[in-house]
Amino acid sequence: MTQSITYAQTLFALEQAPKATLTFYRGIEKEGLRVNSDTRLSQVPHQNPLGSALTHPYITTDYSESLLEFITPVKDNAKDVLAFLQTAHSYTYQYLADELIWPASMPGKIEDELEVPIAYFGSSNIGTLKHVYRHGLWHRYGRKMQCIAGLHYNFSVSEELWQQLADLQGKEVSKDFMSEGYFGLIRNFRRHSWLLLYLFGASPVLDKSFIKGEEHPLQELDDDSLYLPYATSLRMSGLGYQNNAQDGLFVCFNGLSTYTSTLHQAMQESVAGYEEMGVRKDGEYQQLNTNLLQIENEYYSDIRPKRNPKGGEKPLTSLNEYGVEYIEVRCLDLNPFAPLGINEEQIHFMDLFLSYCLLNPSPMLRDAECREVARNQHNVVLDGRNPSFTLQRLGETVTLKDWAQQLITQMQPLAQLLDTTHNVSHYGAALASMNARVDDASLTPSAQVLATMKQKNQSFCDFAMEQAQIIAKTHSATLPAETQQHWQELAQNSLQKQQDIEGSDDVDFDQYLTEYSQKV
């Protein structure tokens, strides 16, 4: 939001606003690997009763054929989004035979990366494009990194809130106004996302096979597991989703035009190493192109501005043309103690945190602050629970505990406003729970993972397998007949839709890829 309106003034104005103004919308994309009882990835293809991974609206796969992804519709309350996610899991578990859904972000044993089956989306041109893109990820970064699982949190706010904020600033609601607002949220998020990594990071340990033969800073926890004593989220470290090949890529989050132009440039910039690899080898596609990014989704970031593209449009084109529709948070680990990877309390805190980022003044990020943000994120994932851990804030050194407590104090009036407006108490309760984690690092999921392993004398794989078995029981309930039929119809309809797409292709893939690449 603009600098002339303070956070306190915004909250005061919202106290007078109708209840509907403070409505938030969220959808969740939750990943989970299908594994066998030996913790290794299932080699069984995505099952027909689950529908088409290409066209099913709610059950798909990500990088690997074994990496399930559950997508919820947008919901305006936490209970509904979790209930939908529960139904999706319960339906899926009926068709997994002896497989389990791995509850941790870091995978189990993968001795050879070729054990990771690349997702297949059928024979259509769009399905082939998705498959070849994943081949490119393999050749560029390796398969293991691509089967790390996470949870994406999609967030937007009501039209009434945008109107209220526009009125407060003497402006008109427009796509540009909303895009500016969402980018203000993104900038504040990047300043403060280290807090989410501390509070919700749940990957302080991994199986040795994941980085077999590579140099790393980790310590041995047991014969099979590596860890760092104060790590929060190794998934978000250089060992996980952070991508060294993209180190030189600087994407500017100061506005929509700078964001899309820097990404567009990366999608046009050919890389010598990728040219050497070639697009095709022995007649088989290795990657979509030789550019730094094959497509925009290849850029790894903890948060993205998003818009659902209209038919046939590239996401960046749609985003540029119509503005930001919602934001996607991508830094959340799966919580292996939560049957759905996330719980209601976390959702309430996420809504509170993201609305706090939106409603606060958000200066442009200068280069020096961008470097601080990157260092803070890098350090907190490796050492964030260290009692003496410090962060950099505009050139000053501050302890994580002090800065976190300041943020929580600043969120308190917003939590109170939300609780009062909706006649609930869960925002304040979630904030109090997170404050307890700041006071006592042993309450964080990352600390609890290590404490449980040590208490039970378990390796990482033993721990995650036991949690998988416990969680599977929570998804074993028989669905009502009407619900079962609905999900069966969703699967059948998606399979038919895939067939229709395959039957409607009127050019070969070579021509399709050429035409796709030429789209603006």
Q: What is the layout of strands, in order, in the sheet containing 205-207?
A: 205-207, 225-227, 219-220
Find residue 512's DSSP bridge partners: none
What is the pLDDT confidence band of residue 244, given thresholds at 50, 70 and 90? low
pLDDT of residue 447: 98
pLDDT reading at 1 higher than 90: no
Is residue 453 included in any domain, yes or no?
Answer: no
pLDDT reading at 248 higher than 80: no
Model pLDDT for residues 283-307, shown as the tens digit of each residue: 999 999 999 999 999 998 999 999 9
pLDDT of residue 240: 58
Model pLDDT for residues 103-116, shown as the tens digit of each residue: 999 999 999 999 99
**CATH number where 428 lies:** 3.30.590.20
Domain count along the chain: 1
What is the pLDDT confidence band of residue 245, given thresholds at 50, 70 and 90? low
Is residue 387 included in any domain, yes or no?
Answer: yes
Model pLDDT for residues 359-409, shown as the tens digit of each residue: 999 999 999 999 999 999 999 999 999 999 999 999 999 999 999 999 999
pLDDT of residue 311: 75
Is residue 291 included in any domain, yes or no?
Answer: yes
The mean pLDDT value of the chain amounts to 95
User: If you search the block for the tokens 């010598």, which residue do you land on?
Assistant: 272
pLDDT reading at 242 higher than 50: no
pLDDT reading at 243 higher than 60: no
What is the pLDDT confidence band of residue 224, given thresholds at 50, 70 and 90? very high
Burial class (CB in 10 A: 0-12, 13-18, 19+), 237: buried
What is the pLDDT confidence band of residue 28, given thresholds at 50, 70 and 90? very high
- The average pLDDT across 253-263 equals 93
Is residue 486 included in any domain, yes or no?
Answer: yes
pLDDT of residue 2: 43
Of the listed ranges 92-101, 145-154, 199-208, 233-242, the one predicted with least confidence:
233-242
Is residue 327 included in any domain, yes or no?
Answer: yes
Model pLDDT for residues 304-329, shown as the tens digit of each residue: 999 998 877 889 999 999 999 999 99
* Range(s) of the domain holding residue 80: 23-200+231-444+460-518
Model pLDDT for residues 430-464, shown as the tens digit of each residue: 999 999 999 999 999 999 999 999 999 999 999 99
pLDDT of residue 484: 98
Of the listed ranges 196-205, 242-251, 418-427, the one predicted with least confidence:
242-251
Is residue 214 included in any domain, yes or no?
Answer: no
CA distance 316 to 318: 5
Find residue 31's DSSP bridge partners: 69
Is residue 502 included in any domain, yes or no?
Answer: yes
- The average pLDDT across 169-189 equals 97
pLDDT reading at 163 higher than 70: yes
Q: Which residue has the higher pLDDT, 411 or 1?
A: 411
Long-range pairs, 239-248, Cβ under 8 A, ≥24: 239/206, 239/210, 239/211, 240/105, 240/106, 240/145, 240/148, 240/203, 241/145, 241/148, 241/150, 241/300, 242/300, 242/378, 243/141, 243/145, 243/300, 245/140, 245/141, 246/292, 246/299, 246/300
Is residue 8 included in any domain, yes or no?
Answer: no
Determine if the pTM surpasses 0.95: yes
